[in-house]
Structure 1
Amino acid sequence: MSNPIFTPAQLAAEADVRAMRADPRGEPVRAQIAKYFEIGYGSRLPDEMRPMLGELADEFLTNWFFKAAASDSQHPRLVRNFMPAHDWHGTSVPGARTGGDNPDNCYRLAGIEHGTRYRLSGRTIGRRPANISFALANNFGTSQTVALLEDHDLLWEEDGSFVIEIDDRPKAGRTNHLQTSPGNKFLFVRDSMMDWASETPLDLTIERMGEAKAPPIDRDDMFARAIHHALRDVFQYFWFQNMVSSIVLNEILPARSLASTGVGLSTQGTSSGHFRLDADDAFILTWDPAGAGYAAVELTDWLYRSLDYQHIQSSQTAAQSHVDNDGFIRTVIARRDPGVWNWLDTGGYANVLMILRWQAMQSGGRPIFASLHRTTIDGLRGELPPETRWVNEQERAAQLAGRVSAYQRRIM
């Protein structure tokens, strides 16, 4: 399999990010970001998280370096972001996780400007991701979605290819079209993969149509954009985290659609939770995949960054989970291995946040649903249904080895 992310544009953007990270002017900005979060959380910040504030600030700022590297709207390039730190093709890529980043997503950004025309060309490589969205975002925080297309909305050619036109003109019968509006900053692409071992992000290229209105931005321009927007967006991302950490402890919110919230992916359904676990606690999360094209659950640390999902089972999609006879998935959240296939590992943390996501939901299908029950690890045998899939040490090791191998497809 050829990796569609391994492109000259991606490697050049990563080189730009490494250069910006090495700029000494970034150090006081990281310290300022860490201080903002520390002051904002105050005494609510769990002791186990306090040493992680510097790492949070570093990944947060790195995320904005990646966005700045993708932000040149007159010379657009698609840039992958929100990844954990990794090595590939002889280079080291720093971590850029923040804001409840999804382990199942390949996130890509390209600069977009109202009044400029673009052509996005794509094709399928192997098995298509479970859900793909193409959004126009009006802020560097990528939370303000103002136009959206999903893969099921597109007209595809028989060979698995498509072209999307992006411009300021009305749709006028064009199915594969996104209309820009004043303030547009990015095209934001999410390839959501249910089966890591077989689904592959789309091969995408973007080009500006017509003459450029400005020369390419240089690294100083990128650095200035990153610093400016990172310091502005700290407060929004603090708010994102507080939406979840303000949930009553050891409870979850009812499943709901994001359509009316004005943030995130507007066609997504979610449920969230906030947990503090003792060593022997076990929470049974019962949820209905509801026939959605994509459905998954993940844990984040208390600072709302994905856990090290490339090493531990801190997330599971519906395709990775055992489904019970009633069609529900029962996922066990615990700090130590409870011996069930559907285990979400907290990475040793006592304080974690949870996000359930449903995408590509069926019209007229079953409503999304999630519930929570607290028990102990020893009490699970009496609480879970007879068809629960239990695992021993060897089976767990094989499950995790398969997960690590499937993840490696992203960085090969």
Structure 2
Amino acid sequence: MTTEIGPLFQYLQPLEEAVNEIANTWRPDDPEYRADVYRQIMMQFSYGYFAFFHADAEHPDWAPLWNPVYTLQPNPDDIYYYAPISSDYSYKIIGNRGTVFMITFTTALSSSGMPWENDHVGTYYNDIDSGDLKTDANGDFELLLSKERPAGYEGNWLKIAEGARVLMTRYRSYDWENEVDPSMSIECLDTVPLKKRLSPEEILERIDHMARMPARATKLFYAMQNSVKNNVGVNVFEPAIYGGSFTRQVYLPAVYDFEPGEALIVETDLPAQRRYWNWQLNDPYFNATEYVYRLSSTNGHFAHVASDGRFYAVIAQEDPGVPNWLDAAGFYQGTIYGRWYDCDSSPTPTMKRVKVSEIRDHLPADTPIVTPEERAEQLKRRVRACQRRRRW
């Protein structure tokens, strides 16, 4: 019996639920906010095709996760990929690690291996990073994923806990210009049938997941940023949040707010041992602020550390002519996130609201001058470096 297929629009009605989430933004009556949220919904909806149609646990493949297009708060240093897996199977990843600063693999719970099918990805189980990964002299490696380590197996292995349905990998780069991204494949080691043609029912089910994804993702991320504001207010960093999808990573979030003619000074001590750290700006909807053509993030490789051993950044709309400018890209509200990864401490920064004309009064006296020519060259090199990474 053939399934009756109705008009396409009837399967897209859940998108309106995402529109209703405008009520949970900071300015629900602002037409600019409404237009931005519409754009966000289209971005999330378009990503849903990768999430729900591209691969399955029996036939895994890499799909892009967060990046400069699918901007749900990606770390600008990271290239994210996702593959559906199942604790019913074993998998092998074969590839070359390249020269990126770090690669990580994380398994997580999702009810059927599809991101955002529920209101959140779920419980994070196990992760491994390239500091633990054995490679040969050329950087080639194999990584086995299974519920149990095979007897006598001494190679790279990542446990798939019962119920895990998601594998997320990050290619984390410090020096965007000179590091080479990994190249790798994933395969199911069990005997499985050939990848089949989807039935009408399965296609409609996946379209429904696509239509529901924007509301589910938005509810999660709006709640996350609103909780920071509710907990500590604006222009104040919430003390370190441990874990998330990494067992070794600490997050430092704050909601920022300033007016034309003003800037924000971020100041922090640095851990003595700091394997990786960075800072990034997000817009008011938890999307990473444009970071290919804007200097809205920095990391431990690019950042200027002051003569007093501290880190100072300036959030501003116009170039302040100092190191560590975080370009707000037209937004006067948003969030800033810092990360300490594998560090021996997790200092909590401060944020100060100042007049643009007084920025240098709040920085060390020997803070260098960054000329317009130097800034233009910095941005030009950033654009080239980012475009040369495979992001989707």
Q: TM-score of the superposition, structure 2-length normalised?
A: 0.85
User: Which runs of no fewer than 5 residues in structure 1 stay unpaired?
Assistant: 1-22, 85-94
Match of 2:3 in 1: none
| 1:112 and 2:69 correspond | no
Q: 1:269 aligns with which of 250, 259, 278?
A: 250
Shift of 1:284: 1.4
Match of 1:201 in 2: 181
Q: 2:164 aligns with which of 181, 184, 187?
A: 184
| 1:34 and 2:19 correspond | yes
CA contact under 8 A between 1:269 and 1:368: conserved in structure 2? no
* Partner Cα separation in structure 1 for residue 278 and residue 324 of structure 2: 12
1:207-246, CA deviations, whole angstroms, 9 ceiling, x for partnerless residues? Answer: 1112115734648264344345555444323322323343
* Partner Cα separation in structure 2 for residue 253 and residue 409 of structure 1: 35
1:357-391, CA deviations, whole angstroms, 9 ceiling, x for partnerless residues? Answer: 122x14xx344442223322211222211331221
* Partner Cα separation in structure 1 for residue 122 and residue 347 of structure 2: 23
Structural mapping, 1:63-74, within 5 Å: 63-74=47-58
| 1:136 and 2:107 correspond | yes
Paired residue type of 2:176 = W
Shift of 1:306: 0.8
Paired residue type of 2:249 = Q
SS in 2 for 1:135: strand
Match of 2:317 in 1: 335
**Distance verdict in 2 for CA 1:160–1:402, change over 3 Å:** same
Q: 1:251 aligns with which of 231, 236, 239?
A: 236
1:38-59, CA deviations, whole angstroms, 9 ceiling, x for partnerless residues? Answer: 1333756766423211011111
* Partner Cα separation in structure 1 for residue 208 and residue 12 of structure 2: 14
CA contact under 8 A between 1:300 and 1:354: conserved in structure 2? yes
Match of 1:96 in 2: 70
* Partner Cα separation in structure 2 for residue 242 and residue 45 of structure 1: 17
SS in 1 for 2:45: helix
* Partner Cα separation in structure 2 for residue 217 and residue 113 of structure 1: 20
Shift of 1:149: 0.9
CA contact under 8 A between 2:265 and 2:353: conserved in structure 1? yes
1:169-198, CA deviations, whole angstroms, 9 ceiling, x for partnerless residues? Answer: 247674621222333221100112111111
Shift of 1:159: 2.0
**Distance verdict in 2 for CA 1:122–1:26, change over 3 Å:** farther
CA contact under 8 A between 1:71 and 1:185: conserved in structure 2? no
Shift of 1:71: 4.3
**Distance verdict in 2 for CA 1:49–1:124, change over 3 Å:** same
CA contact under 8 A between 1:341 and 1:396: conserved in structure 2? no
CA contact under 8 A between 2:106 and 2:169: conserved in structure 1? yes
Paired residue type of 1:190 = R
CA contact under 8 A between 2:92 and 2:143: conserved in structure 1? yes
Match of 1:20 in 2: none
Q: 2:225 aligns with which of 213, 231, 241?
A: 241
* Partner Cα separation in structure 2 for residue 43 and residue 66 of structure 1: 31
Q: 2:34 aligns with which of 41, 50, 62?
A: 50
**Distance verdict in 2 for CA 1:45–1:311, change over 3 Å:** farther
Shift of 1:152: 0.9
Shift of 1:145: 1.2
Structural mapping, 1:358-373, within 5 Å: 358-359=340-341, 361-362=342-343, 365-373=344-352
Paired residue type of 1:371 = T
Match of 2:4 in 1: none
SS in 2 for 1:153: coil
Match of 2:287 in 1: 305
Match of 2:354 in 1: 375
| 1:347 and 2:329 correspond | yes
| 1:223 and 2:207 correspond | yes
* Alignment coverage as a number of residue pairs: 369
CA contact under 8 A between 1:321 and 1:342: conserved in structure 2? yes
Structural mapping, 1:318-329, within 5 Å: 318-329=300-311
* Partner Cα separation in structure 2 for residue 404 and residue 104 of structure 1: 13
Q: Percent identity at matched positions?
A: 23
Paired residue type of 2:207 = F
**Distance verdict in 2 for CA 1:109–1:411, change over 3 Å:** closer
